[in-house]
């Protein structure tokens, strides 16, 4: 069997010297962990250019996959497939050779289109109605055979770059989180802080709460924060949207003269105003309950803003005013988002948004596929779950690119080759900071050992905050980690080595977490790609 794959790799090397169809586009190395039919499927096998190729991968903790393995079967590598290390595997641009054309040269050739090499890529949809523009020719810039209509359908089914706006079949999971927020607002009359790492879907949850509250008669108002907006700017914006029909003047005193105004903003003094003055204006609200949602609050850097918001929390609670604040932001803990204000703790309910379960990720992928009229092979769904580790952002991104790959080759079923293309695209589109940190972490001698430890960290079981116990790192054969491996963890925390990890120090105990939680998924995909184990 091994000789068979060696012969096949030699043949692929010869083919690559005569064409641009090689590189990483094809979706997996031609090794025992790959599908034997990849080349015939239009997906050429990946090539190993690393001097470390052929070194058996360590038996780290498996993450699933075929033949009982993880990223490649039989544990992390387990000797399956040739090891591929180093950045050389990412040099080829799949956009120049999308999936080998598929279906006898691609659907574009069947339509008699001119060669993509002689045409500039164009936008294929006008902004009005999402229809193909009269001057647009050819297929979308990314993949051949993908019509604008299908591309638009996939964009609606998989939304990695924007939160869910509607409560429909595409909103998956988060039931417990929604219940906790609703209970805090409705039963406890408390303000809510929703926090967690990037990519977990906090804004989608906030949008869901906005819709659910509106259905119950709340006046729900949402605003995305920015460093340029002041405390006064944000609350004037909110008050402009509260009509005067909700003003309580004359309710308590029928002889009081009614004020003529349009919105509550007109009740504030011109220019700046204090928290006390804002509180007095909000106290005039009746016949409704106002829910104010501050999204991306972590972008607020002004300490005066944070102090005023803390004071407003306390004043609203003490005055029993029918106004509730839902603050949403990226943070590891409450203090990181709001600062240290012990006096407001009793007024707040902190809600940490956990990672999604594998079952929820699977439902998310299948719901998007059903909405787009396609299907994901069960093993492709399993591999997505293994890569994303509960992070919906990457689930949406992998789902979108894999679905585009399948549709572009004329198929309605997403296979592992399509997932390999999706992984390649995710690696190319990764945040610059993540790529730089990864490179600095491995830019030293004993790179292979550093990669193994970093991969073991990504595979290690973690809690809802992404924190893992170094004692659970799996060494060769599942043995406990060595002192050298634990020393590498300390090194990876230092800025000169990328600052990839952050220590979580507790009395007599130190655990670790990825400083940027998206690094975990990047490591899993990058290592699976370079080891030929997608």
Contact 504, 511 (CB under 8 A): yes
pLDDT at 230 over 80: yes
The per-residue pLDDT of the chain, averaged, comes to 75
Q: Does residue 33 surpass a pLDDT of 70?
A: no
Q: For 169-190, what is the mean pLDDT?
A: 84
Name 310's Cβ contacts closer than 8 Å, sequence gap at least 6: 338, 339, 341, 343, 344
- pLDDT, residue 260, reads 74
pLDDT at 93: 40
Instruction: Report, as an integer, the average pLDDT of 267-280.
Output: 92
Is residue 160's pLDDT more than 80?
Answer: no
The pLDDT value given to residue 252: 54
Bridge-based pairing of strands 290-295 and 323-330 is: parallel
Which pLDDT band, with edges at 50, 70 and 90, does 156 fall under?
A: low
- In this prediction, residue 375 carries a pLDDT of 94
Using the predicted structure, report yes or no on whether residue 35 has a pLDDT greater than 50: no
More confident residue, 165 or 61: 165
Distance CA 75, CA 62 (A): 4
- Ramachandran area for residue 308 (φ above 0: left; ψ -120 to 50: alpha; else beta): alpha
CA dihedral defined by 277, 283, 289, 292, rounded to 10 degrees? 10
Band the pLDDT of 48: cuts 50, 70, 90. very low
Q: Dig out the tokens for 154 from the structure.
A: 């996939």
What's the confidence (pLDDT) of residue 133? Answer: 37
Q: What is the DSSP string of 350-408?
A: EEE-PPPPHHHHHHHHHHHHHHHT-EE-HHHHHHHHHHHTT-HHHHHHHHHHHHHHHHH
**% of the chain at pLDDT higher than 70:** 64
Q: Other CB atoms closer than 10 Å to residue 303's CB: what's the count?
A: 9
Please report which helix (H) or strand (E) contains residue 520, including its range. Answer: helix 518-530
Contact indicator for 78, 39 with CB cutoff of 8 Å: no
Global pTM reads 0.68
Residues above pLDDT 90, as percent of the chain = 43
pLDDT tens digits, residue range 399-455? 999 999 999 999 999 999 999 999 999 999 999 999 999 999 998 778 899 999 999
């Amino acid at each position: 069997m091994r000789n068979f794959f060696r012969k096949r790799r030699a043949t692929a090397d010869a083919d690559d010297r005569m064409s641009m169809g090689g590189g990483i586009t094809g979706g997996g190395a031609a090794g025992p962990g790959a599908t034997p039919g990849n080349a015939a499927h239009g997906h050429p096998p990946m090539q190993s250019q690393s001097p470390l190729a052929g070194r058996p991968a360590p038996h780290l903790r498996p993450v699933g996959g075929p033949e009982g393995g993880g990223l490649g079967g039989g544990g992390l590598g387990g000797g399956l497939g040739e090891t591929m290390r180093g950045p050389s595997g990412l040099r080829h641009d799949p956009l120049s050779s999308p999936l080998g054309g598929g279906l006898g040269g691609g659907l574009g050739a069947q339509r008699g289109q001119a060669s993509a090499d002689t045409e500039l890529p164009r936008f294929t949809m006008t902004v009005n109605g999402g229809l193909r523009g009269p001057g647009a020719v050819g297929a979308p810039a990314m993949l051949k055979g993908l019509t604008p209509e299908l591309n638009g359908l996939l964009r609606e089914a998989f939304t990695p770059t924007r939160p869910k706006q509607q409560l429909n079949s595409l909103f998956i999971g988060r039931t417990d989180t929604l219940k906790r927020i609703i209970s805090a607002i409705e039963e406890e009359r408390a303000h809510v802080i929703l926090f967690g790492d990037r990519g977990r879907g906090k804004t989608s949850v906030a949008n869901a709460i906005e819709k659910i509250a509106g259905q119950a008669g709340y006046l729900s108002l949402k605003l995305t924060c920015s460093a340029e907006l002041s405390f006064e700017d944000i609350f004037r914006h909110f008050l402009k949207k509260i009509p005067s029909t909700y003003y309580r003047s004359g309710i308590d005193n029928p002889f009081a003269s009614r004020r003529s105004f349009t919105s509550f903003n007109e009740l504030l003094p011109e220019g700046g105003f204090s928290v006390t003055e804002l509180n007095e204006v909000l106290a005039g609200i009746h016949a409704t309950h106002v829910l104010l949602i501050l999204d991306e609050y972590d972008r607020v850097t002004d300490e005066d803003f944070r102090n005023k918001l803390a004071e407003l929390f306390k004043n609203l609670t003490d005055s029993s005013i029918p106004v509730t604040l839902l603050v949403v932001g990226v943070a590891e803990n409450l203090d990181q988002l709001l600062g240290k204000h012990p006096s407001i703790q009793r007024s707040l309910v902190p809600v940490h948004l956990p990672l999604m379960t594998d079952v929820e990720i699977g439902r998310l992928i299948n719901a998007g596929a059903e909405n787009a009229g396609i299907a994901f092979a069960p093993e492709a769904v399993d591999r997505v779950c293994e890569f994303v580790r509960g992070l919906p952002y990457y689930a949406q991104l992998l789902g979108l690119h894999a679905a585009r790959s399948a549709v572009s080759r004329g198929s309605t079923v997403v296979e592992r080759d399509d997932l390999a293309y999706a992984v390649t695209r995710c690696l190319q589109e990764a945040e610059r900071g993540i790529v730089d940190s990864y490179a600095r972490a491995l830019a030293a001698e004993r790179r292979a050992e550093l990669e193994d430890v970093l991969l073991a960290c990504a595979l290690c079981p973690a809690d809802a905050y992404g924190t893992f116990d170094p004692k659970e790192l799996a060494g060769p054969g599942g043995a406990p980690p060595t002192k050298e491996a634990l020393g590498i963890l300390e090194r990876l925390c230092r800025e000169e080595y990328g600052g990839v990890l952050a220590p979580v120090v507790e009395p007599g105990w130190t655990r670790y977490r990825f400083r940027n939680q998206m690094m975990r998924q990047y490591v899993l995909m990058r290592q699976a790609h370079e080891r030929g184990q997608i």
